[in-house]
Amino acid sequence: MEGLDDIGASRACPSDAGVLRTDVLIVGAGPVGLLLANLLGTHGVDTTVIERHQTTVAEPRAVTLDDESLRTLQAAGLAEAVIRDLVLGYGVQYFSWRGKPFASIQPTRQEFGYPKRSAFRQPLLERTLREGLRRFPSVRILFGHELESLRQGEEGVHCGVRAHGEARRIEARWAVGCDGGRSTVRELCGIALQGDTYAERWLIVDLAGRTSSLRHTQTYCDPVRPAIRLPGPQGTLRYEFMLHAGEDDAFALHEPRFREWMARRHPEDRNLPLVRKAVYVFHARVAQRWKQGRVLLAGDAAHLTPPFAGQGLNSGLRDAANLAWKLAGVAQWDMPDALLDSYEPERRPHAQALIRMALRIGRFMQPKSRMGAAAMQTLLEAACLVPPVRDYVLQLRFKPKARLQSGWFDASEDGARARLCPELLPQPMVDRPDRSACRLDDLLGNGFAVIGWDSPAFRAHALALAPAGVPVQVVALCRAQDDFLDFRTGHAFAQARDGSGALDMFLDALQADALVLRPDRFWRRVVPAGELQRSEAVAQPLSFPHPDQAFP
């Protein structure tokens, strides 16, 4: 039986004796599962998503999307559709316990092609992601399907599913638990969740019909009632209030009371129509393992981040970006299964770093006493008089960058060069020989890419630098201070020039003539300056790490 929102349910799908077979089974149609399914769809991977509810969520939940998430949505072909429902580039203003502004975060840099923080509504994002799946004949989504049991064999994962009251079997080569904080997949695998659940509880109030046009978050660091006011897209507004010990749910959810709290901050908000009220407990927890055999965990199933940094969901979307091409690699491109072992070592340290950042911001936002608040706030105000510190706060430079310490990359250490840890390539707007401009990733395509300074050696050897059997796009770069010399069309490679110089700086800092990029836009290999001229180095194929030594 098909659910109301099922997509592709009746599409041809290998099945016998009532068993549905699929390459990748995604459990959970939250934002992480849906994005992963869209990315797998772009690679043509046979994918089935199951969701126990009849449709995607209707209630507002997470509210902040970052620049990396928008870049991943661009890879899924959905950035433009998602942006229509965003407040792009919102910042944060911090107010002292006396109501005086004392710090702000208003990043203007767009190193990955999008503003660092944008406000979104989870139901709209999920709807766009769900509708996006219609583009892919290889993806089906089944609502009203709840995972109940899971058993792993040599070749795959055997799942028992309750579908509209009836038992159904699904067999997948790999299964990904994107089933949220209370993950059934995690539980069925016996994987523990480590970390803490905090005593502080927050009341979340979502409202409609906002009358104030201010688009920045206002954070009131007042120990009497720490509060946040967040303007959202389409005239929405959210208030979040910290609750004190002894204030139970009934106390907090009493409407006249929280309307009074709102009115004390902004009288014009007092009577706005209510959309949702909920008490939210925050967790700082990480699953003990993110992979067990052929089962992987992603999103809230793998890590729960306190909401203060607006990073919980964004961390989950980063998981999807990291996993999607690896699943495509093993399912479509004949890459070894060991590639999937690199998922957790690459993602866990960064997810944990963001949890620590959220806890630090939380301590700042929830001062215990007015004296403590005054000391902390005066210190930050004074520190922000120093331009580099102000820049560090204002531009959000304190947000930990993802730098891969171990995983699937070539860490060539030749003694003369420091060990290099892969980072995300910047995404500037680039221009092309025909004088048109586009975002860099639109030239790089969805597979692997090789970019480097244009030269006869680069043109001759770039393609051979990429792994065999994967989709590859080659982009020959022109330096910022130069102009193109070759205006002919019909090359097997693209040409681009970054007038801002960001790409030049990135490659020069790595002393690179070329980079081999993975589909998630981390570099896989740095080709040192001069190496392309030496044919023996060029002839060296990229090798897969031996499974025993690859991932500690």
Ligand X SMILES: Cc1cc2nc3c(=O)[nH]c(=O)nc-3n(C[C@H](O)[C@H](O)[C@H](O)COP(=O)(O)OP(=O)(O)OC[C@H]3O[C@@H](n4cnc5c(N)ncnc54)[C@H](O)[C@@H]3O)c2cc1C
Residue 490: is it exposed, middle or buried by C-beta count within 10 angstroms (0-12/13-18/19+)?
Answer: exposed
150 part of the interface to ligand X, by CB under 6 A: no
Beta carbons within 10 angstroms of residue 484's beta carbon: 16
Nearest to 259 by CA among 248, 243, 270: 270
- Gap between the Cα atoms of 233 and 448, Å rounded: 35
CB of 204 to ligand X, least distance (A): 5
132 part of the interface to ligand X, by CB under 6 A: no
- Gap between the Cα atoms of 531 and 412, Å rounded: 13
Question: How far, rounded to the nearest angstrom, does the alpha carbon of residue 154 sit from its chain's CA centroid?
Answer: 31
Identify which of residues 315 and 495 has a Cβ nearer to ligand X in the complex. Answer: 315
CB of 152 to ligand X, least distance (A): 17
Nearest to 143 by CA among 5, 1, 34: 5
Site string for ligand X, 60-89 (x = CB under 6 A): -xxx--------------------------
Contact positions with ligand X (CB under 6 A) in 383-442: none
247 part of the interface to ligand X, by CB under 6 A: no
CB of 362 to ligand X, least distance (A): 12
CB of 404 to ligand X, least distance (A): 22
CB of 148 to ligand X, least distance (A): 7
Nearest to 112 by CA among 428, 460, 329, 323: 428
Indicate the residue whose CB is closest to ligand X: 30
> Which are the contacts of 351, defined by CB distance < 8 A and separation ≥ 6?
286, 302, 303, 305, 315, 318, 319
- Gap between the Cα atoms of 513 and 529, Å rounded: 5
46 part of the interface to ligand X, by CB under 6 A: no
Identify which of residues 62 and 507 has a Cβ nearer to ligand X in the complex. Answer: 62
- Gap between the Cα atoms of 287 and 352, Å rounded: 11
* Contact window for ligand X (CB under 6 A) among 179-187, 382-390, 391-399, 526-534: 179-187
447 part of the interface to ligand X, by CB under 6 A: no
Q: At what angle do helices 31-42 and 312-331 cross, to 10 degrees?
A: 30
* Contact window for ligand X (CB under 6 A) among 55-63, 78-86, 260-268, 409-417: 55-63
- Gap between the Cα atoms of 267 and 252, Å rounded: 19
CB of 279 to ligand X, least distance (A): 10
Which of 89, 132, 156, 316 is close enough to bind ligand X by CB under 6 A?
Answer: 316
Identify which of residues 43 and 61 has a Cβ nearer to ligand X in the complex. Answer: 61
Which of 180, 428, 433, 447 is close enough to bind ligand X by CB under 6 A?
Answer: 180
3-state secondary structure 139-169: EEEEECEEEEEEEECCCCEEEEEEECCEEEE
452 part of the interface to ligand X, by CB under 6 A: no
* Contact window for ligand X (CB under 6 A) among 31-39, 405-413, 453-461, 463-471: 31-39
- Beta bridge partners of residue 32, listed in sequence order: none
CB of 181 to ligand X, least distance (A): 6
CB of 30 to ligand X, least distance (A): 2
Which of 3, 28, 407, 433 is close enough to bind ligand X by CB under 6 A?
Answer: 28
CB of 284 to ligand X, least distance (A): 13
> Which are the contacts of 542, defined by CB distance < 8 A and separation ≥ 6?
410, 465, 466, 467, 516, 524, 525
Which of 221, 313, 393, 424 is close enough to bind ligand X by CB under 6 A?
Answer: 313
Q: Strand pairing of 274-287 and 193-207?
A: antiparallel
147 part of the interface to ligand X, by CB under 6 A: yes
Q: Tell me the backbone φ, ψ of residue 48, rounded to 5 degrees.
A: -125, 130
Token pair 């120093």 in the structure block, residue? 386
Which of 300, 441, 498, 520 is close enough to bind ligand X by CB under 6 A?
Answer: 300
Identify which of residues 51 and 441 has a Cβ nearer to ligand X in the complex. Answer: 51
Question: How far, rounded to the nearest angstrom, does the alpha carbon of residue 70 sit from its chain's CA centroid?
Answer: 8
- Gap between the Cα atoms of 417 and 511, Å rounded: 9
CB of 483 to ligand X, least distance (A): 46
Q: Are the C-beta atoms of residues 295 and 179 closer than 8 Å to each other? A: no
32 part of the interface to ligand X, by CB under 6 A: yes
Q: Could you tell me the sign of the dihedral formed by the alpha carbons of 28, 132, 336, 421, in that order?
A: negative
CB of 231 to ligand X, least distance (A): 15
Identify which of residues 57 and 81 has a Cβ nearer to ligand X in the complex. Answer: 57
171 part of the interface to ligand X, by CB under 6 A: no
Which of 3, 30, 231, 233 is close enough to bind ligand X by CB under 6 A?
Answer: 30
* Contact window for ligand X (CB under 6 A) among 4-12, 210-218, 312-320, 416-424: 312-320
Identify which of residues 312 and 467 has a Cβ nearer to ligand X in the complex. Answer: 312
CB of 535 to ligand X, least distance (A): 48
CB of 53 to ligand X, least distance (A): 5
What does the angle CA 313 – CA 156 – CA 162 come to, to the nearest 5 degrees? 65
Nearest to 512 by CA among 474, 473, 458, 463: 458
Per the structure block, which two tokens stand in for 18?
A: 């009532």
* Contact window for ligand X (CB under 6 A) among 56-64, 343-351, 429-437, 530-538: 56-64
* Binding footprint of ligand X, residue count (CB under 6 A): 29
Torsion angle, CA of 280/285/287/288, rounded to 10 degrees?
-150
Identify which of residues 61 and 497 has a Cβ nearer to ligand X in the complex. Answer: 61
103 part of the interface to ligand X, by CB under 6 A: no
203 part of the interface to ligand X, by CB under 6 A: no
6 part of the interface to ligand X, by CB under 6 A: no
> Which are the contacts of 95, defined by CB distance < 8 A and separation ≥ 6?
101, 102, 218, 219, 220, 221, 222
List of residues contacting ligand X (CB under 6 A): 27-33, 50-53, 61-63, 122, 146-147, 178-180, 184, 204, 280, 299-300, 307, 312-313, 316
